[in-house]
Amino acid sequence: MNREESALLGFEIVAYAGDARSRLLEALSAAQSGDYARAEALVEEADACIVQAHQAQTSLLQKEAAGEDLAYSVTLMHGQDHLMTTLLLKDLMKHMIELYRRG
């Protein structure tokens, strides 16, 4: 995998993780408004985006496991960072939505 392919994979991860992040923040707003059904639907949409980001990440891991030489890029590192923070946000949003529900 060359640097350009690595960067493209990074952009793919950033895009999916970014979509998930947006939906999670929308879910929090819906919960603040008392629309818990909408909040849950948005969390499910975010989960679907995260799955797509993980699929892109898994393709990278499979290539490395197969012994392919991978060229890393800052974009790919940014994608990994974006995905990790989105996963953390997902956990936090689930708890915060539940707090609003109990509120």
Beta-carbon count within 10 A of 31 CB: 23
Q: What is the dihedral of CA 13, 16, 18, 20, to 10 degrees?
A: -130
Q: What does the pLDDT look like over 55-99, one tens digit per residue?
A: 999 988 898 899 998 888 899 999 999 999 999 999 999 999 999
Residues 10-14 have a mean pLDDT of 95
DSSP 66: T
Q: What does the pLDDT look like over 57-68, one tens digit per residue?
A: 998 889 889 999
Q: Would you call 78 a catalytic residue per the annotation? A: yes
Among the listed residues 54, 78, 82, 95, the single catalytic one is 78
Binding positions: 81
- 21: closest CA among 48, 46, 40? 46
Q: Give dist(CA 77, CA 70) in Å, integer.
A: 13
Q: Domains in the chain, please, with CATH?
A: 3-102 (1.20.58.80)
